[in-house]
Structure 1
Amino acid sequence: MKIIKYMHIRIILILLISLPLTTLCKSDTDNYTDVDRNIDRAVEEGDYETIWKLSKDPDPEIRIRAMNGFMELGTEKSRSKIVDMLFDIDPTVRAHSAELLEKIGWKPKTDFVAVQYYIAKRDWKKVVSYQESAIDHIATRLKKDTDPQIRKEAAEALGEIPSETTYNILNEAYRHDKDPQVRLTAYQSMRKIQKVMTEELVKDRDNKGIDKRYILVGILILMAILTTLIFILPMIRKRGETG
């Protein structure tokens, strides 16, 4: 009897523990269903404000669904909001924004937005092509992104833009980032920048050395010409007088 009693107690405890989890999961699903209904209603009524409020929700999934609502609205104002969400803190939201914009054939009008667009797409080759214009954007992702993989990619991208500024940004990441892979990539990018900058210094020094040699040769040639003239002119003049 005791065994049966304990089994009953265990079953009850398991049910009590699992019930809140089931309720929680159901609650999340219901929440997204309600969000979708609200968005559908807002789209039908052309209610921009409701979708805009949802686009500010702390939950990235709700922000993504709100973006879909903006897409369905199809107004210039709603499309502009999708562009704004390229700057979202969450990488999945940024990526979804870029995907929607690509679908409608949108093209960035400024370098500032273009860099963020390609960051959202994680097209780092394109990002790096903007060179100095991209540094602040990449640095923001390296410092603040919640995804360590994106921080790692950002550190790698900065290594392709050699300058004192990018070196210092990478140094900060190397010293303070919590992820070892990010720190390692930052260190490797720093070494890469050091190598490039050292080569440029050597090249610059050599070029200056060549310039100095050319100047010296020019001076020597000029001195030779002047010396020759000093000796030849009197002789020419003397011949002219005797002739």
Structure 2
Amino acid sequence: MTEQFEEDEAPWRGDGPASFQVRIDAYDGPIELLYELVKKQKRDIATVSVLDVVDQFVDFVATGRDLNLDVRAEWLALAAELVYLKSCRIMPPANVEERRKAEASLEEKNLMLLRRDLVVRTAEFLAGRRRLGRDWYGRGGTSEFDGPRAVAGARSDQQALFSACAADLRRAAPPLIPAFEPYDLRQVDEAKERLVRLFERARGWLRLEDVLPPPASESRHRSETASHFVAALELARTGALDFRQDELFGPFWLRSAEPDAPPAEAGA
């Protein structure tokens, strides 16, 4: 009967040649099966004599010196787990309450560590962002130097110079904001009004370059050209002007819209 039982429970063993059989009241079988029964609450741990289990385990390991070390370690872990379950069962309520408080304290410490990690990650993210005055500059402002300023009672010895330099280095410097010249641009609506007034008096075809105002600067000339070109296209779309280009990359020609008149030659 015993041999048949051991053969059926062979899968519970490790890869060793023998199995650790526990023989206690109302149980006779491998320790792996006993642990599973206790864990699934099919066997009351209160009826298990942990002292007998430990004594039998020591005797079994002492006689089976040729057992695999991994198998011994596995059985030792199972025996230790049974001792732990037994201690939890027979532990006084006061100790259980202390254990719960300790577990709650441990969870609180873990939560504090998680919060600290979140704060550190947030600080690193903020420190890595672009800063005003270092990586980008605000609108407006000036970068002109106001000149040296006289300080009353200032000494001119070397020690005073070093002290002043150290104080200046410790003082947070204001962000340097470069000065930008305002853009001088021609608005498209202004260019449309100007072309309408011009072609109310002009007759025939005119080049786009000829209707531009005298350039005040290079940037202003580019703005005048672009705005008058867009304005001419818009007026041609509405039928107020005739617009043409005779060749690729050639000049643009404009004239007041004359639907009944035949197309004239450029420059006529």
Task: Identify the TM-score tier after normalising by the shorter chain.
Answer: 0.3 to 0.5
The structure with the greater share of residues assigned to strand is 2
Give the structure with the higher percent helix.
1
Question: Quick check: which has more Rg, 1 or 2?
Answer: 2
* TM-score normalised to structure 2 length: 0.30
Q: Which has the higher contact order (CA 8 A, sep 6+)?
A: 2
